[in-house]
Amino acid sequence: MSLEIENIKEKALKEGVPIIKDEGLAFLLNLIRERNCKDILELGTAVGYSAIHMAKLDKDIRIDTIEKVKEMYEQAVANIEKEGLEKQITVHFCPIEEYETDKMYDLIFVDAAKAQYGRYMEKFLPNLQKDGVMVFDNMIFHGLIYDVENITSRNLRNLVRKIIKFREFVHNDERFDIMLFDNIGDGILVLTWRKSGT
Ligand X SMILES: C[S@@+](CC[C@H](N)C(=O)[O-])C[C@H]1O[C@@H](n2cnc3c(N)ncnc32)[C@H](O)[C@@H]1O
Interface contacts to ligand X, rule CB under 6 A: 18-20, 44, 46, 49-50, 66-69, 72, 95-97, 111-113
- 144: closest CA among 164, 125, 129? 164
> How far lies 146's CA from each of 27, 140, 177, 194, in Å?
22, 8, 23, 28
Please report how close the Cβ of residue 113 comes to ligand X at its closest, in angstroms.
4
User: b/e per residue, 30-61, with b = 16+ CB within 10 A?
Assistant: ebbeeeebebbbbbbbbbbbbbbbbbbeeeeb
Nearest residue (CB) to ligand X, 15 versus 149: 15
Please report how close the Cβ of residue 36 comes to ligand X at its closest, in angstroms.
21
CA quadruple 13, 167, 93, 142: dihedral, nearest 10: -10
Is the distance from CB of 63 to CB of 55 less than 8 angstroms? yes
- 77: closest CA among 22, 146, 167, 8? 8
Please report how close the Cβ of residue 97 comes to ligand X at its closest, in angstroms.
6
Please report how close the Cβ of residue 195 comes to ligand X at its closest, in angstroms.
29
Nearest residue (CB) to ligand X, 50 versus 128: 50
Please report how close the Cβ of residue 20 comes to ligand X at its closest, in angstroms.
3
Nearest residue (CB) to ligand X, 39 versus 111: 111
Cα of first residue to Cα of last residue in the chain, in angstroms, is: 41
Please report how close the Cβ of residue 117 comes to ligand X at its closest, in angstroms.
11
Nearest residue (CB) to ligand X, 37 versus 66: 66
Nearest residue (CB) to ligand X, 46 versus 121: 46
Nearest residue (CB) to ligand X, 51 versus 170: 51
How many other C-beta atoms are found inside a 10 Å radius of the C-beta of residue 85?
A: 19
Is the distance from CB of 82 to CB of 4 less than 8 angstroms? yes
Name the pairing type of β-strands 128-136 and 188-193. Answer: antiparallel
